[in-house]
A and B are shown apart, each in its own frame.
Chain A
Amino acid sequence: MLKQIEGSHAMAEGIALCRPEVICAYPITPQTHIVERLGEMVRTGELKNCEFINVESEFTALSVAIGASAAGARAYTATASQGLLFMAEAVYNAAGLGLPVVMTIGNRAIGAPINIWNDHSDAMSMSDAGWMQLFAETNQEAVDLHIQAFRLAEELSMPTMVCVDGFILTHAVERVDVPEQAEVDDYLPAYEPVQVLDPNDPISIGAMVGPDAFTEVRFLQHYKQTLALRLISEFAGEFKKQFGRDSGGLLRTYKIDDAEVLVVAMGSVNGTIKDTIDEMRADGIRIGLVTLVAFRPFPVEALRKVLVGPKHVVVIEKSLAVGMGGQLALHVDLALRNVAGAPQVHSVVAGLGGRPITRPSLHRLFRRALVQPWEGTHFLDLNEEVIAKELHYVRKVRRSGPTAENLLRRLRTGAQKPAAD
């Protein structure tokens, strides 16, 4: 049914259609509206046969989900930012145990400094834990990816994160087609766990594994992710048949055929990028876009197929591996490793801590890729003046104090003098 609806509520309704049996929640902005709407649906009876358990922390939330999943229940939780980091140990645990929990991440920056706004640092910090990670571009896709996520997770018995941009998606009111229950039931079979509590064969989960088998357990986890590469496309195909929409898959392309510059990005920023591309194409610049949906497993082959041809690839990402640069860019480099005639990869970090990524900035950036292509990582819209002043100050004064407070004071007062002078 078509609805004008807040993203979080649409996602909650989509998740409810997947008939979760245990939902665990601890509030954190910008994820809270999703679980609150699910709580309401439990109260009103719109969501039946579901135990909704409010817990005292994210660590508890995912741990409860793990316990429920190990007992054969379809389990769901959601978090963001600090909450994801706080549950990190359980994140690895769920993956290592092969339990198909589905978790929404309302993507938000990580502190310090405290910041509640959107970027992808949280999801990226857990990308190697063994979960599949799918990034939504729109709220429609966010709803659809949850439905696909339960199917994927349970088919492979592997936990899955659906990553949705905090505020930009979670809090935006948009038109979303929320599917009918019968359609979702057709698409998503009842959960058939690979591990059950079998009275004839009680086992203890959580074995200690030594050097003799640890590598093999990890290899199989990795191998399952390679199987996911095929399944993600396959299930997106089936989804299209059932619901008539292109949602999910490994990646999508936009105007790439004759492109001399290709942009690679994840999440909601793809909308702005497409608008920019349309404007630049009107100016005669041959530019196209590759939207990554799956970050884990990372679709090396699929990317290689679309990226070979143009001269330049600009990778825009909302996260930073401090001391290394763009993480997604490094992944794209990997996809192009040992490829003859591979394009040059230009890394851009943008939108950290909620800084808007605007079309004028993207125009300048994409043109620069053609005129003055750069090496290393470029930070979009960096305030170089403030940085220069802070660096100067830090060189001069040993007890320069906390960086964040210094910058804030400088921005507030526009003072020429360093904050603590």
Chain B
Amino acid sequence: MTAEVRPLCKPAEYKSDIKPVWCPGCGDYHVLMSFTRAFAELGLPPEQIAVISGIGCSSRIPAYTSCYGFHGVHGRSLALAAGLKVARSDLTVVVASGDGDGYSIGGNHFIHACRRNIDMTYVVMDNHIYGMTKGQPSPTTEPEFDTALSPGGTGLRPFHPLVIALASGANFVARAFSGNPNETASIIVEAIRHPGFSFIEILSPCVTFRPDEKAWKDLVHPAPVEATNDPGKASRRIMTDDGFNIGILYRGDRRPYQLHMGQASAELAELEREFET
């Protein structure tokens, strides 16, 4: 990752001229703002960034940026992004998803993307609901939350994305809150800079189907301790925290996925050099 800071574009230049159709007050507006601020801070020109998504309110985000975008089918964003990254490893790949897209229908890809540890940043805008289809429970919805599709609540233990990411091999794990766009932007910057698969769970309220989530702004607080590089320690902390610890929770040092294509050509180049001398 080119970490050199070049004041190339202002945040506004990473926005497209398409007006978001999110509901007024939706947390995803702030996530978009964090994206543009992070990209500007990294000094990456828009055409060096690819934003890949699936389907959902959250997954509309690529079209609202001036970067390359791909709005794929529901749940497949990580697999798409893997293809894109291996074909164009020079691009900075940011994958955007929701708790439905990323944890339910696309849950399998999540685990394997962590294992594969390709250099990309995975941002899940978690609102504990399917916003786009108007309020059905997702894997992060509380067990007692009552909806038509879960009469009396699902009764199921919520999915723990951060711990699953750790157990599956993600190399960077953070929790952010959409309502703090500057802090979220700096987490995104660090995630992009960190080699391998970086995962950020952004708590992003759905004001329409989860108005109760407006209270999140009063519940979030900075994580009390620094990030660790010990996945076991990070997991234990995350399992026992209140779910509102914000910050970088884990920075790993696993070797990112190596492009075979790249390796092969590197070897060839070496061989050639040998013959030249």
Interface centre among A26, A40, A54, A112 (most CB of B within 10 A): A54
Within 8 A of B (CB), among A41-58: 42-43, 52, 54, 56-58
In the docked arrangement, what's the CA distance between A40 and B136, Å? 13
In the docked arrangement, what's the CA distance between A37 and B136, Å? 13
Q: Does B29 contact A (CB under 8 A)?
A: no
What sequence of 0s and 1s flags, for each residue 224-240 of chain B, a beta carbon within 8 Å of any chain A beta carbon?
00000000000000000
Given contacts A26-B105, A54-B150, contact A32 B139 (CB under 8 A): no
Asked if residues B151 and A56 are in contact (CB atoms below 8 Å), the reply is: no
Given contacts A29-B133, A32-B134, A114-B55, contact A54 B149 (CB under 8 A): yes
User: With a CB–CB cut-off of 8 A, which chain A residues contact B71?
Assistant: 114
Distance to closest chain B CB from A31 (angstroms): 10
CB nearest neighbor in B for A59: B105
Distance to closest chain A CB from B85 (angstroms): 20
* Consensus secondary structure, chain B interface: loop
Asked if residues A27 and B149 are in contact (CB atoms below 8 Å), the reply is: yes
CB nearest neighbor in A for B151: A43
Q: Does A79 contact B (CB under 8 A)?
A: no
Point out the residue from B73, B103, B107, B133 that lies within 8 Å of A111, measured CB to CB.
Answer: B73
Asked if residues A57 and B105 are in contact (CB atoms below 8 Å), the reply is: yes
Asked if residues A27 and B133 are in contact (CB atoms below 8 Å), the reply is: yes
CB within 8 Å: A-B pair count: 55
| Size bin of chain B's contact surface | 20 to 34
Q: Does A28 contact B (CB under 8 A)?
A: yes
User: With a CB–CB cut-off of 8 A, which chain B residues contact A39?
Assistant: 147-151
Asked if residues A57 and B75 are in contact (CB atoms below 8 Å), the reply is: yes
User: With a CB–CB cut-off of 8 A, which chain A residues contact B107?
Assistant: 56
Distance to closest chain B CB from A108 (angstroms): 13
CB nearest neighbor in A for B72: A112
What sequence of 0s and 1s flags, for each residue 19-41 of chain A, a beta carbon within 8 Å of any chain B beta carbon?
00000011111001001110110
The number of chain A residues with a CB under 8 A from chain B is: 23
Distance to closest chain B CB from A117 (angstroms): 15
Within 8 A of A (CB), among B132-168: 133-134, 136-137, 139, 146-152, 154
In the docked arrangement, what's the CA distance between A42 and B154, Å? 13
Point out the residue from A35, A43, A112 that lies within 8 Å of B152, measured CB to CB.
Answer: A43
Asked if residues B150 and A82 are in contact (CB atoms below 8 Å), the reply is: no
User: With a CB–CB cut-off of 8 A, which chain B residues contact A43?
Assistant: 146, 148, 151-152
User: With a CB–CB cut-off of 8 A, which chain B residues contact A54?
Assistant: 136-137, 149-150, 154
In the docked arrangement, what's the CA distance between A25 and B73, Å? 19
Point out the residue from B130, B137, B139, B148 that lies within 8 Å of A37, measured CB to CB.
Answer: B148
Q: Does B89 contact A (CB under 8 A)?
A: no
Distance to closest chain B CB from A86 (angstroms): 8
What sequence of 0s and 1s flags, for each residue 103-120 of chain A, a beta carbon within 8 Å of any chain B beta carbon?
000000001101000000
In the docked arrangement, what's the CA distance between A56 and B224, Å? 34
Q: Does B104 contact A (CB under 8 A)?
A: yes
Query: What are 20 inter-chain pairs, A to B, with CB distance below 8 A?
Result: A25-B149, A26-B105, A27-B133, A28-B133, A32-B136, A32-B149, A36-B136, A36-B148, A36-B149, A39-B151, A42-B151, A43-B148, A52-B151, A54-B137, A56-B104, A56-B107, A56-B139, A57-B75, A57-B104, A112-B73
9 other contacts beyond A29-B133, A57-B75, with CB at 8 A cut-off? A27-B136, A32-B133, A37-B148, A39-B150, A43-B152, A54-B150, A82-B55, A112-B73, A114-B55
